[in-house]
Structure 1
């Protein structure tokens, strides 16, 4: 069995080990990032929705940076939103702060009923810069 090339952002390894998943895995020139939520350092949800979205992006950016990437390297995005009818506009008001300029990555939005106490989750696939592949 091939050993996974796991990426851990600084200061969060214990959280991922406690919850038994990898924050990101490098494979074949791509970075597969687990869903990131607006969790505080102890893993608890940020209660304010827009602050939670900002923190989810901050957590995502920490994982990307740990792999030598940025949001500009993101090719595919999946977002999960609890009660999207009520929350989409509030969430999407924050997204341009992090999204960057066109051309944009692909996007799939999924409405869900439960996210472990969170209202928003973002999962991405990024292209690794050549110098970081297999690092």
Structure 2
């Protein structure tokens, strides 16, 4: 059995370790990324929804880069939304900027009623370089 390799973005390892999980795990050629939210550097939620979505993608990118990956390596996306009907336009605009040409990754969007003070969360699976 192959070993799990934990991946942490620069300057955020303590935040993950304090909560007992990894930002991502690389295993068998894939990167399984935990949900990323639009948190500020101190971990607090960004109140503006569009900026929260932008920060979530930015925080995700930091973890991808730490694993030697990029948005182009993503094969599966799952997003969580506290008010999908009113948020989807903003999310789709961000999605279109990040994934601007085919082939697009798989995508599943889920409406939820709680995200610990956040309104948007994104988790992904990406292909990895050789570990």
TM normalised by structure 1 equals 0.92
Q: Which runs of 5+ in 2 are unaligned?
A: none
In structure 2, the residue matched to 1:125 is 125
Displaced runs of 4 or more, over 2 A: 1-4
Q: Which moved more, 1:25-34 or 1:94-103?
A: 94-103
Q: Any unmatched runs of 5+ in structure 1?
A: none
2:81 and 2:121 in contact (8 A); partners too: yes
Q: What is the CA RMSD across the aligned residues, in angstroms?
A: 1.4
For these two proteins, the number of residue pairs brought into alignment is 131
In the TM superposition, 1:81-92 aligns within 5 A as 81-92=81-92
* Distance in structure 2 (CA, Å) of the matches to 1:95 and 1:50: 12
**In 2: Cα distance, 1:3 partner to 1:42 partner:** 31
Contact 2:34–2:124 at 8 Å: present in 1 too?
A: yes
Which stretch shifts more, 90-99 or 47-56? 90-99
**Secondary structure in 2 matching 1:96:** helix
